[in-house]
Amino acid sequence: MDKRDIEILRHLVTDSRLSLADISDKTGLAISTVHKRINKLLNEKYIDRFTVLLNPDRFGCATAFLLVDVDSERIKEVVEKLKNDENILEIYESLGSHNLVLKIRASTLERLKEAVNKVSDTEGVYSFEFYLATTRYKENAWKPEVDSI
């Protein structure tokens, strides 16, 4: 991983539809070099997958955050049960007052409620705080800093 790889990654995060030729033009690297570097980044698991970032507002989605208290001996078990729910977008183990932080998004409040109930009914979860987001001001994919290498 070097600064050129970071530069390629930043371009892909900004617009994953960029062609190899576009990235070549932006970085000054040969198309074949860009292709090899992207494949290397995929093989080394720096890139999980190529996807799109949808605008949830256009779909009328509801977004919530849950701060979850879990029996510390059962965190991995709880995470395994929850990570298959397609409405639970992100799961983080955290330091502080709560063991887990979850981001949940659903197309309706009823589906959001179902996802929250799944969390509360999971064995090993003993409490949670629920925060319903009312306005989304910013949501981006993370980009590594060029000077991080």
Phi, psi of 137 (to 5 degrees): -95, -30
pLDDT (0 to 100) of residue 80: 97
* Model confidence band, residue 53 (pLDDT cutoffs 50, 70, 90): confident
- Residue ranges and CATH numbers for the domains of the chain are 3-52 (1.10.10.10), 56-133 (3.30.70.920)
pLDDT digit string, tens, across residues 120-146: 999 999 999 999 999 999 998 888 987
pLDDT for residue 147 is more than 80: no
- Token pair recorded at residue 85: 């729910």
Q: What is the pTM of this model?
A: 0.85
Which three-class secondary structure state does DSSP give residue 104?
strand
Specify the DSSP class assigned to residue 97.
S
d(CA 46, CA 12): 12
d(CA 31, CA 137): 36
